Structure 1
Amino acid sequence: MVCNLKFNVVIFLLLTAGFSLQAQTITIQGKVLDSLQQPLQYANLLAVPSADGVDVTFAITNQDGVYNLKLQKNQNYTVTTSYLGFLPNIEDLNLEKDTFKDIVLKENLNQLDEVTIKYTPPMVVKKDTIIYLTDKFVTGEERKLKDVLKKLPGVDVDRSGNVTVNGTKVTKVLVENKTFFTGNSKLAINNIPADAVDKVEVLDNYSDVAMLKGLQDSDDMALNIKLKEDKKNFMFGDIEAGAGIKDRYVLHPSVFYYSPKTNVNVIGDLNNTGVKSFTIKDYLEFEGGIGKLLTDAGSYFKLYRSDFAQFLDNQDYKSSTNQFGAFNIRQSINAATDLSAYAIVNNEKNTTASNTLNTYQNIDQPFTEQRFANNALDNFFTIGKVTLEYKPTVKEDLNVSTVVKVTNNKGLGVINTINPSQDNTISTTNNVTGLNLKQNLSYSRKLSKTHTATLQSTYSYQNDQPITNWLTDQQILQGLIPLQTDINYNIKQTKTVNTNSVNTILKDYWVLNNFNHVYMSLGINAAFNSFNTTDLQQLSDGTINNFETAGFNNRLHYNLIDTYLGLEYKFQIGIATFKPAAYLHFYNWQLNAFSNRNANSKTLLLPQFTSKIEFSNSEKISVKYKLDATFPAVNRIANNFVLNNFNSVYKGDANLSNTLFHSASISYHRFSLFRGLNYNLSTTYNKRIKSIKNTIQLQGIEQFSTSVMFDQPEQTVNVSGRISKSIKKLKLKFNSRWSYNDYYQIVNQNTSLNSSKDFNNTLSLETNFKNHPNIEVGYKYVTSNYKSRGNLTQFLNTSFFTNLEYDFLNNFIFKADYSLDTFNNKTTNNTNQFDMANASLFYQTEDSPWGFELSATNIFDVKFRQTNNFSDFLIQDSQSFILPRIIMFKVAYKL
């Protein structure tokens, strides 16, 4: 019965999207030329029909001035062709068949006359800028900015809120030329009302400092949202409130005010429906995001593995209550000075449950463990930032900001493990408090026609204090921790990690001529760390069994100072730009552990190379290479033992030094608005020639690990491609990624070379109609292979998904999505399958501020989500339990 219901729902989604793809269209093709018969690249053609119900269509010429305009047969159109600096050409057309026609534009000798021209092209393409006039693309049912962006040519928005334009990811969002909150795209696209947007500007190679554009090699892409005139000097936004069965609720206000001098944004979210307003991904983006991964992988993964990030990482909940508030204000003090501030407050209360089958391998006697985990989490944090921007002239730019982050996260968990050596239940409590303060200074000044100087400096203070308690009625980690016999075993750990760091770089940009630049840098990175741990057992009679006599507890001070000189030479030959560079680093580090002191120094020359070949504005090749070195985090050089988990003990090594690895990448990017074709291809290669590796000693599920320097080469290769093709009202997309990784592991004194291969493919087809339902249908195919010591483990995961959006009877919007996921462990022949479906029906008349919505999530009331993965010696098949079916009725009011 349930299977029939699911099948009928899927058929309904597909049938509701039924439409005719055989519209009677004809094509007019040709070139747009100037009076000298030279082609005009990116000229705009707009065809406005006389009849109601016929779509406005437009086209843009390619680099050869060729256009391709689709019109309906036997319809009257007014076709306007325009190009900056030329008089527009206006013609009335009614065609019965495909036609070839060249259009010649005359130069506008009197530029002042342009102010009288009422025509505005729907899309303007320049070298580093694309401007969309959104009214030409929207259909009226859009509610938020993300719905508008999905309608723009070349723009994609995924479910996570990531925006890409012609295959390049948007890294910053501005509103009226000012940063929106943190600049993260998610807050903007999910909250800015669609009817407030007038234009969307895409700014490639974006730089916050205008004078550095062309000097700094920026891969950033920004969206600048221009508001309609009636939304300026006026408060706008919306408020959404809803209630559902089983005491479900949601309250989501989004209020905005923009004027020439004052901007105010307020966003709130209270719900118990599992919607997270601030996720681990948002936190990583806030701290630098993918850019930090590419330039400083060590810092990125340190953030990801931090105690605070682990609390945010959970995504699947049995229950969830979320309270989120964000406030942002910007005030122009005068023409040269802006003061801005924002505050983000988040409080979550969640419960999670999982059932995991762990397969331990690469040991003499492989075995399996069944592990059940239940957790109750209470996460609170607040982040505040104040920024002063001072730009007295185009030759000077000062930016000073202060960021404060306060966290207080608590967790209560119960783990039940069933394995050949024991059946045990362990209760765990965690309390993580932290304070992080950052002071940033950025100053840029154009010293002369040929010299521009920048100073960037950051001071950071971080203090984290996690406290963990494990409680069980059986002895654990026997032989690793000195437990005394008791009725119950109460083990406590207190940890304090304190860091003061200063990062400063002074850089001179010397422009020899238009084709040759020399950049010189002087910098210092200094970090002063302290790492203190205390592990002990509290007995039932109140006495303390301190583990210090067994080699536990750490009192470590670790200081690392990196002073460096950099020289870069940037030159251009034809369409190619090259920039070889070298950085000479002088490292000095000192360790103080109890009464032991150790000082070291090292000098390294680290080369870099980048190159870019621009065949045109829409076709580029980029090449990058870098030799990099990283030093171990403070916990990895702590000589004494420390408890990592109820089944894990770790010991660092004070003699650890730096890692050394090569990284190289090649990427090719091309898009054609004329052909509706966009593809991106990239390859990255990393080779670790010197790394820090954990050696692991396994005894059942319990493990002891320590770190050693390892000089055997390991490598990682990633190849990815993305292709999209628009055909009339259809868009076909194909994403593919292949990765290979070989690495050594040391388990129970056996060193083995492991390898993993992953192949991920997604094919989807979506429509973009104004008067018909729009549907997306896709299929995802993922294979994973893991090989170690002659053992091969294979996973095959597939997913069929479909999304439907239907605007009908003028006032109704129906949305639905469905996915069917299959997980197959080919090694054990275990297969798991689950499907998810959500739907909503929204009603709002055009002249009413009130809107009403009926929504349902997890329609089939699926109990858990299946995942699988593998690590050095462990293969995991996990079931994470999720929220049950939720049915909500919501009321929205538009301000």
Structure 2
Amino acid sequence: MKKILFTILSIFVVFAGYSQTEITGQVFDDNNEKLSGATVMISKDSVSSILAYGISDSDGKFKIAVKSDGESLSLKVSYIGFATFEETIQNKAQQLEVKLLPSSEALKEVIVKSEILQQRGDTLSFSVDAFKDKNDRVIADILKKLPGIDIRPNGQIYYKDEPIQKYYIEGLDLLEGRYNLANNNLSADAVSKVEILENHQPVKVLDSLEFSERASINIKLKKDISISGTATAGMGAAPLLWQTKVTPMIFTKKRQAIVTYQSNNTGSDVSGEIRNFSINFFGDEFNIDKTDWLSIQNVSPPPFSAERWLDNNVHLGSANILQRVKEDIDLKLNISYLNDYQKQDGSTQTRYFTPTDTIDIIENTSNNIFVSQLEGQLTLENNTDKNYLKDQLEFNGSWNTNRGLIDRPDAKIKQRLDNPFFGIKNDMRLLRTIGKQLITFNSNIGFTETNQDLLVQPGQFEAIFNNGDPYGEIQQQVSSRKMYADNSAGFTKALGKFTISPKFGFSIQDQQLDTDIFLEDGEEVLDADFKNRTEFVESSVYFKNSFRFKSKDETWNLNLSTPFQFKSFQLKDRNFEEKRSLDRLVFEPRFSVNKKLSAFWDANASAGLSYDFGELQQLYYGFLLNNYRNLNRYNAPISEETRQYYSGGIAYRNPLKQLFLNTSYSYSYSENNLLYSSNIGENGTRILEAVVRDNSFDNHSFKAGGSKYFRKLKTTFKLNASYNLSKRQQLLNNTLAEVNTQSFNLRGSIDAEVSSWLIANYSGNFSTYTSGFGERDFQQIETQQHTIDLYFYPKDNQYLSVSSEYYGNSLSENGDNYFVNLSYQFTFEKPKMDLNISWRNILNTDQFINASNNQYYYIQSSYRLRPSQVLATLKFTF
């Protein structure tokens, strides 16, 4: 104990003895006007590296903390259009007044320094022209190069390893989270800057009351009235290929519109352009996403561009229109229709690991998938400094059907799934200033319905349904409905540096599930164990209060949420006399803190407690045939899960050096009252049931990442790593086992303009996944993929590109996959048009062999790929 106390005391003395000087001041111009956004830098002397860095606020004031043991410091203050101010000052706390004088020579010098990146407060502005290469056409090509920004394979944008919350074009949120449509079609030539809005609060009235940890993106255009877009037409072989795309856009101060029609059979997955990446800010929100109760057996698609493997025939139409009715009042319409036909061909070998045995399944799969989907949103938004109103009506309808054939060594199995869905909801949020209080009201109501029908021939689970004898077919029917309402009211009030936001509300959700199983000749299975007539009602009365603290210098931001909820659950089934009910008063606190350590460093930490009582998908009494070899039911009490979570991170951001670094750690621990038991048969059939047994799950996650732009080399380098470790219990074939998993992922990219005639891009990914029972690891897999793109420019208006890709895994004997592409492009200046001739998959690699594993099984998949093909396209940019 004495040693521990001595160590703590020593650390305290060291930190206490380390001096820190606070330099404050104000920046003026030659007319004594306050200058906002002036750059203030402090170093040991005029030639040393920067010790601290700051930006003057709206009043021209700055405050910088400096750690240095020197007697003097070098102060440098710069602003566009003014001569740089340089002076040697004493290393002591002091108040300075800096006056900048105009200078044309200084303006040229500052423009050079700021042509890459500027910072004003919490806004970083990247110059598009500074990052643009000859082969860049749309704004997505620029975003992927910007340091600090990461675009995931599905198109979602991350900043400092967190998803962005808003995507604005000239300050307007036209697309409501569907920003792939702008990313992939807005011409890079029409954009002047990409702005990163750090700690962005999208609701103006909350800007000084609620701290936001998320960042947003704003696209700044070169013209006040901008008409832009793309149009593409292409033909190719073999087989006969076509590709058409027309995406006109208009942006003015009062109106924005992006309209598109796209069609192709070249493997381009256009559905990604209408994927919604919106982040929920309304609290507990009801979503109208479809629940797939039933499914056909699929082959896992390869982890690379769909143009290599997707055999499709797709049509997409989308209209996105924003009209500013009056100042700060916007009316938005977002609507899209997708019609797609896809074919999937491949084979899988699945190996299940149990504590006592291994089970192998071999399947050759051929599927036909028909997608028909209509989505729409109508939004009215009034966002001012005093009031906020957002009312959003959303609907979603789909009419999907799937057909599949499984060829196994012992049988051929046909599958047919009809999967229609309809959902509608309305979200309304109102914030109004009354006196010195901010009154809030939220209302969220919705309804969904789906009727799904799965037919499997011949029938499965013979021992259960037909005394062990083969039979012709089995049909599973599911009808599910859900109604939801959540209404709440509260207020927000500032008390000095503190803000309180109490809220009172009530919510109710009513779900109904009817399921039936039929055998050949329409014979209904009457046993109650194979039928469901379930109704699940969840109601909640809640009081939520948030306390926030923001220091005067905005270096500290603390948030404490203390919600109390009384939850009531009622579950009943007309086939069973037993009813399940549960009443709980829960307290789910959450605490988070953000600390700005310096101009470059900031840190964050959070902790919380939450409860989860499950959804109807894990609560029904009777068996349900989920797919041809999975039979599930959850005849057990209502599930209860208690989860603790903790996280912390630190980030470094230096706009002057275009360097971004971040690292974080998170830990979660949960306790559950139900354990899920899997009984796997020799033919791969699985019966899943819930068992009453206390169990736990814990998970450790580490992340680190960084990106750097090297200006002299015109190169962007990005590297990200993550490590995950988890442990949980599992019942496999009536044997209790502890399942441990470990995963590691490393990914990076380099975008370089090597010379005026060569541009090179590289991206790579390496990952490992290990799982096992207790101390025994039963499977480890390593996967990696590498892509290199080379663009050769014999002249400025044409290039020849060579692309090579490698994908490999350690489990498959033939797990090495190679691809080579060749492309030539000629650009016509008048009209602005690209003629591109591409030869894809030159090696004619006809199948992709991949392997993946999970907690207690691994799957080796062989997917039929598109053949070698040539495609010629004309692309107009306007």
TM-score by length of 2: 0.83
Q: Do residues 255 (structure 1) and 241 (structure 2) align?
A: no
Residue 82 of structure 2: aligned partner: 87
Q: Do residues 738 (structure 1) and 744 (structure 2) align?
A: no
Residue 465 of structure 2: aligned partner: 481
Once the two structures are superposed, the pairs formed by residues 352-371 of structure 1 within 5 Å of their partners are 352-371=344-363
Give distance in 2, aligned partners of 1:463 and 1:350. 25
Q: Do residues 448 (structure 1) and 430 (structure 2) align?
A: no
Residue 73 of structure 1: aligned partner: none
Q: Pick the aligned partner of 1:221 from 206, 215, 223.
A: 215
**Which deviates more, 713-722 or 222-231?**
222-231
**1:334 Cα deviation (Å)?**
2.3
2:494 maps to amino acid = V
Contact 2:38 2:79 in 1 (8 A): no
Residue 516 of structure 1: aligned partner: 498
Task: String of CA shifts for 1:177-211, please: whole Å, max 9, x gaps.
Answer: 21132333322110111121123222122233111
Q: Secondary structure at the match of 2:842?
A: coil
Residue 379 of structure 1: aligned partner: 371
Give distance in 2, aligned partners of 1:307 and 1:180. 35
**1:384 Cα deviation (Å)?**
0.7
Q: 1:760 to 1:599 in 2, by over 3 A?
A: closer
Residue 332 of structure 1: aligned partner: 324
Give distance in 1, aligned partners of 2:494 and 2:581. 41
Q: Do residues 148 (structure 1) and 130 (structure 2) align?
A: no
Q: 1:229 to 1:534 in 2, by over 3 A?
A: same
Residue 623 of structure 1: aligned partner: 605
Contact 1:529 1:559 in 2 (8 A): yes
**1:395 Cα deviation (Å)?**
0.9
Q: 1:455 to 1:255 in 2, by over 3 A?
A: same
Residue 844 of structure 1: aligned partner: 827
Q: Pick the aligned partner of 2:859 from 873, 876, 879.
A: 876
Give distance in 1, aligned partners of 2:26 and 2:329. 46
Q: 1:736 to 1:139 in 2, by over 3 A?
A: closer
Q: Secondary structure at the match of 2:205?
A: helix
2:82 maps to amino acid = L
In the alignment, structure 1 segments of 5+ residues that lack a partner are: 1-31, 46-59, 67-80, 92-103
Q: Secondary structure at the match of 1:476?
A: coil
Q: Do residues 502 (structure 1) and 491 (structure 2) align?
A: no
Give distance in 2, aligned partners of 1:496 and 1:255. 41
Contact 1:572 1:578 in 2 (8 A): yes
Task: String of CA shifts for 1:497-536, please: whole Å, max 9, x gaps.
Answer: 10011123334222111x2222212233321100011111
**1:40 Cα deviation (Å)?**
11
Give distance in 1, aligned partners of 2:837 and 2:463. 59
Residue 439 of structure 1: aligned partner: 426
Q: Secondary structure at the match of 2:464?
A: coil
**1:274 Cα deviation (Å)?**
1.0
Once the two structures are superposed, the pairs formed by residues 768-847 of structure 1 within 5 Å of their partners are 768=753, 771-788=756-773, 790-825=776-811, 830=813, 832-847=815-830
Contact 1:303 1:309 in 2 (8 A): no
Give distance in 1, aligned partners of 2:118 and 2:193. 11
Task: String of CA shifts for 1:403-451, please: whole Å, max 9, x gaps.
Answer: 1111011110011234xxxx122100011000010101011122334x3
Residue 28 of structure 1: aligned partner: none
Q: 1:165 to 1:590 in 2, by over 3 A?
A: closer
Q: Secondary structure at the match of 2:562?
A: strand
**1:734 Cα deviation (Å)?**
2.4
Residue 194 of structure 2: aligned partner: 200
Task: String of CA shifts for 1:756-780, please: whole Å, max 9, x gaps.
Answer: 1111123444324572422133543
Contact 1:62 1:672 in 2 (8 A): no
Task: String of CA shifts for 1:335-375, please: whole Å, max 9, x gaps.
Answer: 25321101111111001122111112215332322111110
Contact 2:609 2:643 in 1 (8 A): yes
Q: Pick the aligned partner of 1:267 from 260, 264, 273.
A: 260
Task: String of CA shifts for 1:117-149, please: whole Å, max 9, x gaps.
Answer: 999953320222112343444355431111233
Contact 2:378 2:394 in 1 (8 A): yes
Give distance in 2, aligned partners of 1:309 and 1:175. 41
Q: Secondary structure at the match of 1:844?
A: strand
Q: Do residues 584 (structure 1) and 576 (structure 2) align?
A: no
Q: 1:831 to 1:625 in 2, by over 3 A?
A: farther
Percent identical among aligned pairs is: 17
**Which deviates more, 523-532 or 330-339?**
330-339
Q: Pick the aligned partner of 1:613 from 595, 600, 604.
A: 595
Q: 1:840 to 1:448 in 2, by over 3 A?
A: farther
Q: Pick the aligned partner of 1:653 from 635, 639, 645.
A: 635
Give distance in 2, aligned partners of 1:218 and 1:238. 35
1:209 maps to amino acid = V
Q: 1:136 to 1:679 in 2, by over 3 A?
A: closer
Q: Secondary structure at the match of 1:147?
A: helix
Give distance in 1, aligned partners of 2:406 and 2:548. 57
**1:386 Cα deviation (Å)?**
0.6
**1:158 Cα deviation (Å)?**
5.0
Contact 1:87 1:105 in 2 (8 A): no
Contact 2:724 2:742 in 1 (8 A): yes
**1:152 Cα deviation (Å)?**
4.5
Q: Do residues 493 (structure 1) and 493 (structure 2) align?
A: no
Q: How many residues align structurally?
A: 793
TM-score by length of 1: 0.81
Q: Secondary structure at the match of 1:711?
A: strand
Give distance in 2, aligned partners of 1:781 and 1:810. 36
Q: Secondary structure at the match of 1:178?
A: coil
2:428 maps to amino acid = L
Contact 1:696 1:706 in 2 (8 A): yes
Task: String of CA shifts for 1:679-721, please: whole Å, max 9, x gaps.
Answer: 1111111111125431122221122211234422211111111
Contact 1:484 1:545 in 2 (8 A): no
**Which deviates more, 566-575 or 648-657?**
566-575
**1:470 Cα deviation (Å)?**
0.4
1:236 maps to amino acid = S
Give distance in 2, aligned partners of 1:842 and 1:550. 66
1:838 maps to amino acid = N
Q: Pick the aligned partner of 1:399 from 385, 390, 401.
A: 390
Residue 723 of structure 1: aligned partner: 706
Give distance in 2, aligned partners of 1:172 and 1:869. 34
Contact 1:141 1:807 in 2 (8 A): no
Contact 2:148 2:706 in 1 (8 A): no
Residue 125 of structure 2: aligned partner: 131
Task: String of CA shifts for 1:601-639, please: whole Å, max 9, x gaps.
Answer: 111112211111111354221111121111221132211
Q: 1:360 to 1:563 in 2, by over 3 A?
A: same
Residue 161 of structure 1: aligned partner: 155
Give distance in 2, aligned partners of 1:679 and 1:336. 37
Q: Secondary structure at the match of 1:523?
A: strand
Give distance in 2, aligned partners of 1:576 and 1:891. 54
1:278 maps to amino acid = S
Contact 2:349 2:362 in 1 (8 A): yes
Give distance in 2, aligned partners of 1:709 and 1:455. 41
Residue 7 of structure 2: aligned partner: none
Q: Do residues 469 (structure 1) and 460 (structure 2) align?
A: no
Q: Do residues 753 (structure 1) and 748 (structure 2) align?
A: no
Q: 1:88 to 1:227 in 2, by over 3 A?
A: same
